[in-house]
Amino acid sequence: MKLRVIGCYGGYPAKGVGTSSYLLTAGDYHLLIDCGSGDLLSLEKYFDPLKLNAVVLSHYHWDHIADVGVLQYYWQLHTEGRQESVLPIYGNSADPLNLGSLTWPNSTKGEGYNGNSKLNLGPLTITFKRTIHPVPAYAMRIEDNHTKHVLVYTADSNYFEGLAKFAQNADLLVTDTNYYANKNSVEPRWHMTSSECGKLAKQSNCKKLLLSHLPQYGDLKQLITEARKTAGSKPRIGLAHVGKVVEI
Ligand SMILES: [Zn+2]
Ligand SMILES: [Zn+2]
Protein backbone atom coordinates (compact mmCIF):
# COMPACT_ATOMS: atom_id res chain seq x y z
CA MET A 1 0.00 0.00 0.00
CA LYS A 2 0.97 3.60 -0.43
CA LEU A 3 -0.39 6.51 1.59
CA ARG A 4 -0.26 10.05 0.23
CA VAL A 5 -0.95 12.97 2.55
CA ILE A 6 -3.54 15.31 1.00
CA GLY A 7 -4.07 17.56 4.04
CA CYS A 8 -2.59 17.41 7.54
CA TYR A 9 -3.71 20.24 9.82
CA GLY A 10 -6.21 19.80 12.62
CA GLY A 11 -9.14 22.18 12.97
CA TYR A 12 -8.65 24.59 10.07
CA PRO A 13 -6.51 25.04 6.94
CA ALA A 14 -3.60 27.49 6.98
CA LYS A 15 -0.84 28.72 4.65
CA GLY A 16 -2.25 26.76 1.71
CA VAL A 17 -2.38 23.48 3.63
CA GLY A 18 -5.68 21.70 4.18
CA THR A 19 -6.97 19.61 7.05
CA SER A 20 -7.05 15.83 7.46
CA SER A 21 -7.15 13.77 4.27
CA TYR A 22 -5.12 10.83 2.93
CA LEU A 23 -5.17 8.91 -0.33
CA LEU A 24 -4.53 5.19 0.18
CA THR A 25 -3.58 3.13 -2.88
CA ALA A 26 -3.41 -0.66 -2.95
CA GLY A 27 -2.76 -2.03 -6.44
CA ASP A 28 -5.26 -0.18 -8.62
CA TYR A 29 -7.66 0.52 -5.76
CA HIS A 30 -7.86 4.09 -4.46
CA LEU A 31 -9.48 5.00 -1.14
CA LEU A 32 -9.75 8.55 0.17
CA ILE A 33 -9.64 8.65 3.98
CA ASP A 34 -11.37 11.82 5.26
CA CYS A 35 -11.87 14.91 3.10
CA GLY A 36 -11.44 18.12 5.08
CA SER A 37 -11.11 21.78 4.24
CA GLY A 38 -8.96 22.57 1.19
CA ASP A 39 -8.53 18.91 0.32
CA LEU A 40 -10.30 18.70 -3.05
CA LEU A 41 -7.90 21.32 -4.48
CA SER A 42 -4.97 19.42 -3.01
CA LEU A 43 -6.23 16.04 -4.27
CA GLU A 44 -6.60 17.42 -7.81
CA LYS A 45 -2.85 18.11 -7.89
CA TYR A 46 -2.04 14.43 -7.40
CA PHE A 47 -5.01 12.39 -8.55
CA ASP A 48 -8.17 12.50 -10.66
CA PRO A 49 -11.04 12.62 -8.13
CA LEU A 50 -13.19 10.60 -10.56
CA LYS A 51 -10.78 7.67 -10.23
CA LEU A 52 -11.56 7.16 -6.55
CA ASN A 53 -13.11 3.79 -5.69
CA ALA A 54 -14.46 4.88 -2.30
CA VAL A 55 -14.23 7.41 0.52
CA VAL A 56 -14.24 6.56 4.23
CA LEU A 57 -14.86 9.19 6.89
CA SER A 58 -13.70 8.87 10.51
CA HIS A 59 -16.28 11.34 11.89
CA TYR A 60 -18.34 14.34 10.93
CA HIS A 61 -16.19 17.23 12.18
CA TRP A 62 -15.59 19.86 9.50
CA ASP A 63 -11.82 19.41 9.43
CA HIS A 64 -12.55 15.85 8.19
CA ILE A 65 -15.58 16.42 5.95
CA ALA A 66 -15.66 20.06 4.79
CA ASP A 67 -14.83 19.16 1.17
CA VAL A 68 -17.13 16.14 0.90
CA GLY A 69 -19.91 18.37 -0.44
CA VAL A 70 -17.78 19.76 -3.27
CA LEU A 71 -16.46 16.29 -4.06
CA GLN A 72 -20.11 15.24 -4.46
CA TYR A 73 -20.68 18.16 -6.88
CA TYR A 74 -17.52 17.15 -8.76
CA TRP A 75 -18.98 13.68 -9.32
CA GLN A 76 -22.42 15.10 -10.12
CA LEU A 77 -20.95 17.36 -12.82
CA HIS A 78 -18.78 14.66 -14.43
CA THR A 79 -20.79 11.71 -15.65
CA GLU A 80 -17.98 10.46 -17.92
CA GLY A 81 -14.73 8.95 -16.72
CA ARG A 82 -15.92 7.74 -13.34
CA GLN A 83 -14.12 4.77 -11.88
CA GLU A 84 -17.37 3.70 -10.19
CA SER A 85 -20.88 4.44 -11.45
CA VAL A 86 -21.68 5.95 -8.04
CA LEU A 87 -19.00 6.81 -5.46
CA PRO A 88 -19.53 5.00 -2.14
CA ILE A 89 -18.83 7.19 0.92
CA TYR A 90 -18.60 5.29 4.20
CA GLY A 91 -19.52 7.21 7.34
CA ASN A 92 -20.47 6.13 10.83
CA SER A 93 -24.14 5.38 11.37
CA ALA A 94 -24.17 6.86 14.89
CA ASP A 95 -25.09 10.19 13.24
CA PRO A 96 -27.90 9.38 10.76
CA LEU A 97 -28.38 12.99 9.66
CA ASN A 98 -24.79 13.38 8.48
CA LEU A 99 -24.76 9.86 7.05
CA GLY A 100 -27.85 10.74 5.02
CA SER A 101 -26.11 13.77 3.51
CA LEU A 102 -23.48 11.48 1.94
CA THR A 103 -26.02 10.28 -0.61
CA TRP A 104 -26.34 12.51 -3.67
CA PRO A 105 -28.55 11.30 -6.54
CA ASN A 106 -26.63 9.46 -9.26
CA SER A 107 -23.33 10.68 -7.80
CA THR A 108 -22.51 9.36 -4.34
CA LYS A 109 -24.01 6.83 -1.95
CA GLY A 110 -23.66 7.01 1.85
CA GLU A 111 -22.92 3.66 3.50
CA GLY A 112 -23.03 3.28 7.27
CA TYR A 113 -20.55 1.51 9.53
CA ASN A 114 -20.19 1.06 13.29
CA GLY A 115 -17.64 -0.35 15.74
CA ASN A 116 -18.54 -3.93 14.81
CA SER A 117 -18.30 -3.46 11.07
CA LYS A 118 -15.79 -5.16 8.84
CA LEU A 119 -15.66 -3.59 5.41
CA ASN A 120 -14.24 -5.40 2.42
CA LEU A 121 -13.31 -2.74 -0.09
CA GLY A 122 -11.38 -4.03 -3.09
CA PRO A 123 -8.17 -5.58 -1.71
CA LEU A 124 -8.65 -3.92 1.69
CA THR A 125 -10.28 -5.06 4.92
CA ILE A 126 -11.22 -2.29 7.36
CA THR A 127 -12.21 -2.58 11.02
CA PHE A 128 -13.09 0.27 13.38
CA LYS A 129 -12.66 1.36 16.99
CA ARG A 130 -14.67 4.13 18.63
CA THR A 131 -12.34 6.80 20.00
CA ILE A 132 -12.54 9.38 22.79
CA HIS A 133 -13.91 12.47 21.06
CA PRO A 134 -16.92 14.78 21.60
CA VAL A 135 -18.79 13.23 18.65
CA PRO A 136 -18.78 9.59 17.48
CA ALA A 137 -15.39 9.07 15.84
CA TYR A 138 -13.69 5.89 14.72
CA ALA A 139 -10.07 4.83 14.36
CA MET A 140 -9.47 2.53 11.38
CA ARG A 141 -7.32 -0.55 10.94
CA ILE A 142 -6.83 -1.19 7.23
CA GLU A 143 -5.21 -4.41 6.06
CA ASP A 144 -4.05 -5.16 2.54
CA ASN A 145 -5.36 -8.68 1.88
CA HIS A 146 -2.43 -9.46 -0.44
CA THR A 147 0.58 -8.19 1.49
CA LYS A 148 -1.04 -8.41 4.96
CA HIS A 149 0.47 -5.00 5.69
CA VAL A 150 -1.53 -2.83 8.07
CA LEU A 151 -2.26 0.88 8.30
CA VAL A 152 -3.83 2.19 11.51
CA TYR A 153 -5.27 5.71 11.53
CA THR A 154 -6.26 6.98 14.96
CA ALA A 155 -8.69 9.57 13.57
CA ASP A 156 -9.32 12.17 16.32
CA SER A 157 -8.93 10.94 19.86
CA ASN A 158 -7.50 11.46 23.28
CA TYR A 159 -5.07 8.74 24.29
CA PHE A 160 -6.49 5.49 25.71
CA GLU A 161 -4.98 2.04 26.15
CA GLY A 162 -7.53 0.32 23.91
CA LEU A 163 -6.18 2.34 21.01
CA ALA A 164 -2.74 0.74 21.45
CA LYS A 165 -4.32 -2.72 21.38
CA PHE A 166 -6.26 -1.83 18.26
CA ALA A 167 -3.07 -0.58 16.57
CA GLN A 168 -1.01 -3.67 17.52
CA ASN A 169 1.89 -4.37 15.12
CA ALA A 170 0.79 -1.81 12.54
CA ASP A 171 3.24 -1.23 9.72
CA LEU A 172 2.22 2.42 9.72
CA LEU A 173 0.45 4.31 12.51
CA VAL A 174 -0.97 7.74 11.61
CA THR A 175 -1.83 9.76 14.70
CA ASP A 176 -3.86 12.77 15.75
CA THR A 177 -0.96 14.90 17.00
CA ASN A 178 -2.80 18.11 17.66
CA TYR A 179 -0.65 19.25 20.58
CA TYR A 180 2.91 19.70 21.73
CA ALA A 181 3.93 17.84 24.88
CA ASN A 182 3.31 20.90 27.07
CA LYS A 183 -0.43 20.15 26.84
CA ASN A 184 0.00 16.76 28.58
CA SER A 185 -1.48 17.97 31.84
CA VAL A 186 -4.43 19.78 30.27
CA GLU A 187 -7.62 17.71 30.63
CA PRO A 188 -10.15 17.11 29.28
CA ARG A 189 -8.60 16.86 25.83
CA TRP A 190 -10.02 15.47 22.59
CA HIS A 191 -6.69 15.00 20.82
CA MET A 192 -3.27 13.58 21.65
CA THR A 193 0.02 15.26 22.38
CA SER A 194 3.28 14.36 20.63
CA SER A 195 4.45 12.35 23.63
CA GLU A 196 1.19 10.40 23.81
CA CYS A 197 1.58 9.55 20.11
CA GLY A 198 5.08 8.28 20.88
CA LYS A 199 3.72 6.19 23.76
CA LEU A 200 1.04 4.78 21.49
CA ALA A 201 3.67 3.87 18.91
CA LYS A 202 5.75 2.05 21.51
CA GLN A 203 2.81 0.19 23.05
CA SER A 204 1.46 -0.84 19.67
CA ASN A 205 4.88 -2.02 18.45
CA CYS A 206 4.34 -0.21 15.15
CA LYS A 207 7.10 0.02 12.55
CA LYS A 208 6.50 3.59 11.42
CA LEU A 209 4.76 6.51 13.10
CA LEU A 210 3.44 9.40 11.04
CA LEU A 211 2.52 12.47 13.10
CA SER A 212 -0.43 14.26 11.52
CA HIS A 213 -3.51 16.38 12.38
CA LEU A 214 -0.87 18.97 13.25
CA PRO A 215 -1.00 22.33 15.02
CA GLN A 216 -0.61 25.47 12.87
CA TYR A 217 1.97 27.02 15.23
CA GLY A 218 5.43 26.37 16.60
CA ASP A 219 8.33 24.39 15.18
CA LEU A 220 6.74 21.13 14.04
CA LYS A 221 10.09 19.29 14.20
CA GLN A 222 9.77 19.59 17.96
CA LEU A 223 6.84 17.15 17.75
CA ILE A 224 9.23 14.48 16.46
CA THR A 225 11.75 15.13 19.24
CA GLU A 226 9.00 14.89 21.85
CA ALA A 227 7.45 11.75 20.33
CA ARG A 228 10.87 10.07 20.16
CA LYS A 229 11.28 10.36 23.94
CA THR A 230 8.30 8.10 24.60
CA ALA A 231 8.42 5.96 21.44
CA GLY A 232 11.85 4.48 22.15
CA SER A 233 14.32 3.80 19.37
CA LYS A 234 12.34 1.29 17.26
CA PRO A 235 9.74 3.09 15.18
CA ARG A 236 10.69 5.42 12.38
CA ILE A 237 8.97 8.75 13.03
CA GLY A 238 7.87 11.14 10.31
CA LEU A 239 5.95 14.37 10.10
CA ALA A 240 3.05 14.70 7.67
CA HIS A 241 3.24 17.31 4.93
CA VAL A 242 1.09 17.71 1.84
CA GLY A 243 2.16 15.41 -0.96
CA LYS A 244 4.25 13.15 1.27
CA VAL A 245 4.08 9.48 0.28
CA VAL A 246 4.66 6.68 2.77
CA GLU A 247 5.10 3.09 1.58
CA ILE A 248 3.32 0.57 3.78
ZN1 LIG B 1 -9.93 16.80 13.52
ZN1 LIG C 1 -12.74 15.85 15.44
What pLDDT, in 10s, does the model give residues 62-93?
A: 999 999 999 999 999 999 999 999 999 999 99
Mean pLDDT of the region 190-219: 98
Please tell me the distance between residue 61's alpha carbon and the centre of ligand 1 in angstroms: 6
Give 37 Cα–ligand 2 centroid separation in angstroms.
Answer: 13
Ligand minimally distant from the alpha carbon of residue 11: 1
| pLDDT tens, residue by residue, 14-60 | 999 999 999 999 999 999 999 999 999 999 999 999 999 999 999 99
Cα of 178 vs centre of ligand 1, distance in Å, is 8
Q: Which numbered ligand comes closest to the C-alpha of 18?
A: 1
pLDDT of residue 142: 99
Ligand nearest to the CA of 136: 2
**If you measure from the C-alpha of residue 81 to the centroid of ligand 1, how many angstroms do you get, rounded to a whole number?**
32
The CATH number of domain 2-247 is 3.60.15.10: yes
Average pLDDT, the chain: 97
Mean pLDDT across 186-208: 96
Core vs surface per residue 50-87: b (16+ CB within 10 A) or e: eebbbbbbbbbbebbbbbbeebbebbeeeeeebeeeeb
Q: Which ligand is nearest to the CA of 215?
A: 1
